Structure 1
């Protein structure tokens, strides 16, 4: 299957590292004009340089804006009034006991993980519908279905994104705009690698082995039995953004390694 997104503009929020960066790289490889976004200008520049080095002739622009705030979203929208593809990837996570999570933390997770996506979809999707074509992907998580006991505040936001995605898909019925959610499972991003680094140093084992042990301990329902790569997750994101995915909408697309124990 050859995915061609030439002539399409794609925004991937939080794309200086991790799954977002892998998605931006994949979309650039399909010919899209990709907008790399992050909070810091130097990180955005470095991410653009890395993609250009990997993809000959990549069409890239960078916008530094903190889309986890209303002001940051407004800043991004002023610089980029229209897109054809919106990948709402930006998000934060971190374990914390439910009884210790403050109101401020709940609000911050909701602002960054949910409202960033809501604001940008609300701004960009009407233009997609006017043009008769668009793709929107919300990055949810298997944690939106398997709510982690140590990250209830995080799981809540990922469940919320499933609701927004499904509802918006129904709202855009017949418009030529598809809306889907992608649900990664445990993935070897820079953040996860940093979290596991102490165990790597302690045991002397490679990150892959430590990651597999982490999955066995914390996601025992995993069928994959290892951490996915960011590229493996990005492959599904890119497909959901493709012309070939024209009949896929309103879906919760799992790339979770089988962590969610259901056949549906």
Structure 2
């Protein structure tokens, strides 16, 4: 299967590390011009340089702005007026007892995890529809379906993302634009390493800590390991291509079998 995204521009929110960076690298490897986004210039520059080093001839645009604000989206539009591919990856998560999550924290999670994606979609979808081609992906989570008791505010925000994705897919019906969610399972990133050590013995070596975390807190996983970011990126690259032209309004799983369901 050959995926050629030459001539396409892709904006990936929150893409200086982890899943976002892996997606940006994967899209660049398929020929897309990629827009790297983060709040801190140093991190954006480092990520962009890493892609240019890894992918010969990569065309990378550096976008330093807080995409979770209206001002940040306006800045994005001023630098990159239109895109062919939008990947809503930006998100925050953290452990918190359900009864201790404040109103302010609930609102922050929805602002960053949901409304940032809504604003970007509102900003870029109309031009895609007019052009008759576009790809939008929302990076959701198994936590959208299996709400974790240790961070229900995160899980519920990802549930909302599934609904947002389906709704915008209907808004784009018949235009040549596809809109999908990607349900990512427990994934190995630096942030997740910190999260794992909040739940297991901090003295354990990483390999043991990972196995203990999966055994105690994610026993439904069928691969019995954390997923690597590149494995998430592979699916997003496919969904961003012309090969996925009949896949829209879907919640596509790359979760290692974590969600116990025979349906996608």
Give TM-score scaled by structure 1 length. Answer: 0.96
Instruction: Tell me if the contact between 2:218 and 2:258 (Cα under 8 Å) persists in the aligned partners.
Output: yes
Match of 2:234 in 1: 235
SS of 2:203's partner is helix
> Hey, what's the Cα distance between the residues in 1 that align with 2:57 and 2:64?
22
| Residue number in structure 2 paired with 1:214 | 213
Deviation at 1:195, TM superposition (A): 3.4
Give CA deviations for 1:57-78 in whole Å, capped at 9, x if unaligned. 0010110011112221222122
Conserved 8 A contact 1:208-1:227: no
Q: Tell me how far 1:13 sits from its aligned partner.
A: 0.4
Q: Deviations over 1:80-135 (max 9, x none)?
A: 11000000000000011121111111111111000000000011011001111000
Using the TM superposition, give the Cα deviation of residue 197 of structure 1 relative to its aligned residue in structure 2, in angstroms: 5.7
- Change in 2 beyond 3 A, CA 1:200/1:61: farther
Cα displacement (A) at 1:201: 6.3
| Residue 45 of structure 1: aligned partner | 45
Alignment match, 2:248? 249
Indicate whether 1:202 and 2:203 are aligned: yes
Q: For the aligned residues, what is the CA RMSD?
A: 1.3
2:7 touches 2:32 (CA, 8 Å); kept in 1? yes
- Determine whether 1:58 maps to 2:85: no
Q: Does 1:151 align with 2:151?
A: yes
Superposed displacement of residue 209, structure 1: 3.6
Corresponding residue SS for 2:237: helix
Asked if structure 2 preserves the Cα contact closer than 8 Å seen for 1:27 and 1:238, the reply is yes
The structural deviation recorded for 1:16 is 0.1
What are the equivalent positions in structure 2 for 1:183-202 lying under 5 Å apart?
183-196=183-196, 202=203
Instruction: Return 5+ residue gaps in structure 1 as ranges.
Output: none
- Structure 1 Cα separation of the partners of residues 245 and 191 of structure 2: 33
Matches within 5 A, 1:52-201: 52-196=52-196
Secondary structure at the residue paired with 1:187? coil
Q: Report the Cα distance in structure 1 between the residues aligned to 2:82 and 2:141, rounded to whole angstroms.
A: 27
- 3-state SS of 1:237 partner: helix
